[in-house]
């Protein structure tokens, strides 16, 4: 089993806990994503991180947990946030460092938050009504030449 973890979740608080999402339904058999959630009320909690690999969930979404409160089972209410994922798959180390710095500066300037999985995969929290237009010139050349790729992580409903 391989585990994807969130080392710096956006809404981390001392009272938050972790829960697991099985990534097999997303084409990643044998992988689990450990996500941070707010303290559950029964079997209900809110996402305190932006999922790296589970589709259909975003920051602040209200989710249903299993009876042991260890696994996320379903989306109960969308927060309206979206997850924008960017992966620098074919960049040199130097290019990746430059791209990371540009992404981080742009995200900060826009007042947004992001989380990193390693140094080449970032997920950006996009609140309702926010457009990512300022990010486009930072990533365009890398995407156009195939050195980076992007996707929206909220394109389909979350279901297990």
pLDDT of residue 160: 55
Q: Tell whether pTM > 0.75.
A: yes
CB 150 within 8 A of CB 85: yes
3-state class (DSSP) for residue 121: strand
Q: Which of 75, 81, 65 is nearest to 129 (CA)?
A: 81
pLDDT of residue 159: 60
Q: pLDDT digit of tens for each residue in the chain (160 aa)?
A: 999 999 999 999 999 999 999 999 988 999 999 999 999 999 999 999 999 999 999 999 999 999 999 999 999 999 999 999 999 888 889 988 999 999 999 999 999 999 999 889 999 999 999 999 999 999 988 889 888 899 988 666 666 5
H-type alpha helices, 5-135? 93-109
């Amino acid at each position: 089993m391989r585990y994807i973890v969130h080392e710096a979740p956006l809404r981390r608080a001392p009272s938050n806990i972790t829960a697991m999402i099985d990534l097999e339904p997303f084409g990643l058999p044998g992988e689990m994503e450990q996500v941070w959630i707010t303290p559950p009320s029964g079997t209900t909690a809110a996402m305190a991180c932006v999922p790296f690999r589970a589709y259909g969930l975003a920051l602040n979404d209200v989710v249903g947990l299993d009876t042991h409160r260890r696994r996320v089972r379903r989306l109960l209410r969308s927060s309206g946030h979206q997850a924008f994922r960017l992966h620098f798959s074919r960049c040199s180390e130097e290019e990746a460092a430059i791209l990371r710095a540009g992404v981080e500066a742009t995200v900060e300037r826009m007042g947004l938050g992001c989380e990193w999985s390693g140094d080449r995969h970032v997920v950006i929290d996009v609140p309702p009504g926010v457009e990512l237009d300022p990010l486009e010139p930072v990533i365009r050349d890398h995407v156009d030449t195939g050195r980076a790729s992007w996707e929206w992580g909220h394109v389909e409903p979350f279901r297990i």
